[in-house]
């Protein structure tokens, strides 16, 4: 027997045991120590598993952490998301070991260029910013968005990868849907839900899912719905798939209505209607015509139908105070833009300026403008605003040019939902799921474009 090998084996076991005990003891006193664990796991994996496999699986893990946010964070430090740790690590591995091909990235060059240009404008704007720390925070989120786009462009190269992504997104959507129903029916919410904080007549039963705000949840469900609907409609078991599609559609509509989010309801109606007519076409019109009286009776004479119609009516008629406040915010944002002579007040500084105007005196407070476009104009000026607009114009132009709409409405629905979110949510710069889904939409357009080129050359 080789005693040297045995001694080394025992020594390794002892070292691992001591390490685990040390992390456990130190982590109990300072939870940030737990960040060492994923670092050690990644280093170990690099030595044992093929790097291509590590890159692929870590990408899917990044996607999961992106959607789950603060619920996958260091205990006691909810701002230190696992996503914020994994994203730079994955980018580092990608830069060192990734197999970048110019032909794969060339088709995305315009988007990457525009995003980098927007980041440079953000950095330059710090010279006129009153609060540089707010600007640095803004720039961090810009870097995060660029990384998310690069990850999508690198990994989502073919239909196989896209199918996996659809399955993951659909699973997250379904779990969020069930969670939202539980919240709505029981009044119970996850510990980081804003419904535990806000006390209103409706907040107790307003779902938030894995997010903080109920409006965020409504747009989250609205933008992910087409992915889940598509998977159900493409199931091999046709009738089971249709049944799941119908049930999911009605539950999605119900749960979004229960959030009282007006833009969320509009996005849901547009998504549901578009997916329905894309799938069933002329036959869908006939089915809808036949079922209209049934739907009317359900809304009129059932408790759930009455509740949904009452909620919709209330959302659009009982929010005059909210609408007036939003209009006032927009006027103040325009004032900030004019007072800056259209050059902006510096990245991330609009919320502070807006808060000062609302209070009438200078403070360190923070009030978001609930309009991404006006905030971008106020932060980065006319040049930054134009660059930002170009990203979304380019998306729409390539969507119409690619022929993608002949096959799937999903990229168009992503574009519509993103625009809705940009004027409905407090800020979308920090909403990673929106930027991720936008990048996925770009990948879908490019895949459709490449398929069209291949058909033309055959």
Q: What is the pLDDT of residue 332?
A: 92
Q: What is the pLDDT of residue 458?
A: 41
Evaluate the CA torsion angle 247, 250, 253, 254 in order and state its sign: negative
pLDDT for residue 31: 64
Q: Which of 99, 96, 97, 80 is nearest to 34 (CA)?
A: 80
Handedness of CA 386, 390, 396, 401 (dihedral sign): positive
Domain ranges in the chain are: 3-97, 101-155+328-458
User: Minimum mean pLDDT among 43-52, 209-218, 373-382, 444-453: which range?
Assistant: 43-52
Indicate the pLDDT class of residue 162, thresholds 50, 70 and 90.
very high
Pairwise CA distance, residues 3 & 440, whole Å:
56
93-97 mean pLDDT:
85
Position 24 pLDDT exceeds 70:
no
The Cα 267–Cα 417 span in angstroms is: 6
- CA torsion sign, 372 to 373 to 378 to 381? positive
Asked whether the predicted pLDDT for residue 7 surpasses 70, the reply is no
CA 437 vs CA 66, 222, 223, 244, 374: distances in Å: 11, 12, 8, 23, 22
Of the listed ranges 44-48, 98-102, 355-359, 421-425, the least confidently predicted one is: 44-48
Q: Which of 215, 36, 139, 162 is nearest to 429 (CA)?
A: 139
- Give the pLDDT mean for 343-370: 83
């Amino acid at each position: 027997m080789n005693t040297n090998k045995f001694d080394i084996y025992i020594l390794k076991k002892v070292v691992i045991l001591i390490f685990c005990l040390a992390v456990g003891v130190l982590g109990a006193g300072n939870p940030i120590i737990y960040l060492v664990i994923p670092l050690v796991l990644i280093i170990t994996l690099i030595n044992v598993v093929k790097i291509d496999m590590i890159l692929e699986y870590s990408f899917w893990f990044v996607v999961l952490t992106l959607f789950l946010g603060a619920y996958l964070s260091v205990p006691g430090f909810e701002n230190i998301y696992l996503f914020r740790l994994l994203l730079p690590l994955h980018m580092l591995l990608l830069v060192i070991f990734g197999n970048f091909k110019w032909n794969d990235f060339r088709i995305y060059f315009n988007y990457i260029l525009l995003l980098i240009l927007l980041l440079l404008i953000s950095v330059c704007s710090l010279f006129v910013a009153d609060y540089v720390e707010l600007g640095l925070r803004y720039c961090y989120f810009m870097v995060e968005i660029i990384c998310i786009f690069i990850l999508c462009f690198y990994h989502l190269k073919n239909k196989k990868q896209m199918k996996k992504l659809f399955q993951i997104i659909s699973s997250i959507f379904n779990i969020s849907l069930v969670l939202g129903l539980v919240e709505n029916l029981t009044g119970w919410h996850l510990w980081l839900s804003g419904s535990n904080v806000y006390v209103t007549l409706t907040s107790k039963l307003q779902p938030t899912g894995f997010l903080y705000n109920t409006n965020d949840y409504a747009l989250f469900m609205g933008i992910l719905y087409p992915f889940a609907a598509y998977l159900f409609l493409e199931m091999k078991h046709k009738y089971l798939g249709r049944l799941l599609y119908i049930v999911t559609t009605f539950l999605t509509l119900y749960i979004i209505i229960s959030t009282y989010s007006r833009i969320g309801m509009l996005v849901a109606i547009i998504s549901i209607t578009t997916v329905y007519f894309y799938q069933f076409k002329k036959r869908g019109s006939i089915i809808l015509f036949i079922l209209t009286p049934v739907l009317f009776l359900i809304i009129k004479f059932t408790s759930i139908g009455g509740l949904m119609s009452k909620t919709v009516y209330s959302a659009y008629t009982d929010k005059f105070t909210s609408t007036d406040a939003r209009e006032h915010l927009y006027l103040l944002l325009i004032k900030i833009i004019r007072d800056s002579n259209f050059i902006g007040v510096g990245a991330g500084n609009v919320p502070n300026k807006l808060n000062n105007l609302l209070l009438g005196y200078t403070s360190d407070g923070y009030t978001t403008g609930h309009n991404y476009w006006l905030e971008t104009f106020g932060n980065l000026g006319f040049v930054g605003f134009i660059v930002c607009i170009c990203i979304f114009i380019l998306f729409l132009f390539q969507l119409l040019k690619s022929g993608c709409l002949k096959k799937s409405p999903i990229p168009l629905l992503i574009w519509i939902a993103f625009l809705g979110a940009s004027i409905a949510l407090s800020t979308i710069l920090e909403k990673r799921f929106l930027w991720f889904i936008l990048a996925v939409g770009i990948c879908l357009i490019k895949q459709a474009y490449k398929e069209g080129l291949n058909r033309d050359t055959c």
